[in-house]
Amino acid sequence: MLALLAPGQGAQTPGFLTPWLEDATSGALLENWSTLTDLDLVALGTTADADEIRETSNAQPLLVAAGLISALRTFAGQDLTFDYFAGHSVGEITAASLAQAFDGDAAMTLVNVRGRAMSIAAAGSNTGMSAVLGGEREVVVSALLALGLTPANENGGGQIVAAGSLEALAQLADNPPAGARVRPLQVSGAFHTSVMQPAVTKLADAAHEMDVNNPVAPVISNRDGAIITNGDELLARIVGQVSGPVRWDLCMATLAAQGVTGVIEVAPGGTLTGLVKRAQPGIELFAIKTPDDIEGAREFARTHGGK
């Protein structure tokens, strides 16, 4: 069984879209989405520096565009299907679109609202995020809650991202949970916490204008690892997930429980396959990074029954 995964914010690197845009069709698509979002996605994906593409309102549309383009280049017209789709945080929009719950233009419109709204919600909030690496899950979560912090991303493999006030994050860094170390993240606010509630409201308004279909194959939800087959429920979860924790650990557990034998991660691939490797070593992996990976991804998909 085969699953297609889409990475979230932080997977982008300067210039990573350059090789994908050597294809005229991909270039035209990105130009269209640049107009749709009022962002120069071509420049962001080819010449922008790390700070510019780290900005939430730039990073999120760029990542969704990259995932969609790489998947279309790799799988369109190949008579290949996937048993499950999943994406981490903003990657869930990519995954839902690849599962045909809504088209690429709708995905780009939605993620543009999401990125801008989350950036606005974060501004002046005096909040941030830190990765907590190692330690027992229960011990780490208890320590975060005692400081008023939220375990905003539970990524499995001993990686939990804490979110909340900068003061509490500083206290966490000074006194890490037993067996863990703390690494501050370069983000502008406490994503996937109640700080993002204003963004949920704006995203809900945008979602109300969308046409949604049931996905062609189930999408595994960030909220709780649930298998979602209804398009309306999927979109509602994508909206609400902005202010709720990402349980990627449960998504990976669902992949394993459903008998998935292989996962392919769309560009910029590598982050999620790395997490799956640590948490579910029985699942085979393929990360799409550049067009040089297209043939390998197709062969991998055929091997794992995606026909």
Active site residue 142: no
For 274, residues 6+ apart whose C-beta sits below 8 A from its C-beta are: none
CATH number of the domain that residue 58 is part of = 3.40.366.10
Catalytic residue, candidates 57, 192, 221, 243? 192
Domain boundary among 184, 201, 229: 184
Per-residue pLDDT at 49 exceeds 80: yes
What pLDDT, on a 0 to 100 scale, did the predictor assign at position 105? 98
Per-residue pLDDT at 307 exceeds 70: no
Per-residue pLDDT at 306 exceeds 70: no
Burial zone of 259 (CB within 10 Å; 0-12 exposed, 13-18 middle, 19+ buried): exposed
Cα(56)–Cα(10) distance, integer angstroms: 10
Catalytic residue, candidates 89, 97, 130, 221? 89
What total of structural domains would you count in the chain? 2
Q: Could you tell me what percent of the chain has a pLDDT over 70? A: 99
Cα(108)–Cα(63) distance, integer angstroms: 10
Give the residue among 58, 83, 57, 64 at the shortest CA–CA distance from 267: 64
Domain that holds residue 156: 127-184
Instruction: Judge if the upstream peptide bond of residue 177 is cis by omega within 30 degrees of 0.
Output: no
Same structural domain, 7 and 54: yes
Task: For strands 150-156 and 227-228, give the pairing.
Answer: unpaired
Same structural domain, 91 and 209: yes
CB atoms within 10 A of CB 84: 23
What pLDDT, on a 0 to 100 scale, did the predictor assign at position 208? 95
Hey, which residues does 2 pair with through a beta bridge? 262
Hey, which residues does 262 pair with through a beta bridge? 2, 284
Classified as helix, coil or strand, 48 is coil
CATH number of the domain that residue 136 is part of = 3.30.70.250
* Helix pair 294-303, 56-75: axis angle to 10 deg: 70
Active site residue 192: yes
Q: Over the stretch 251-275, which tens digit does the pLDDT of each residue have?
A: 999 999 999 999 999 999 999 999 9
Domain boundary among 184, 213, 231: 184
Same structural domain, 103 and 243: yes
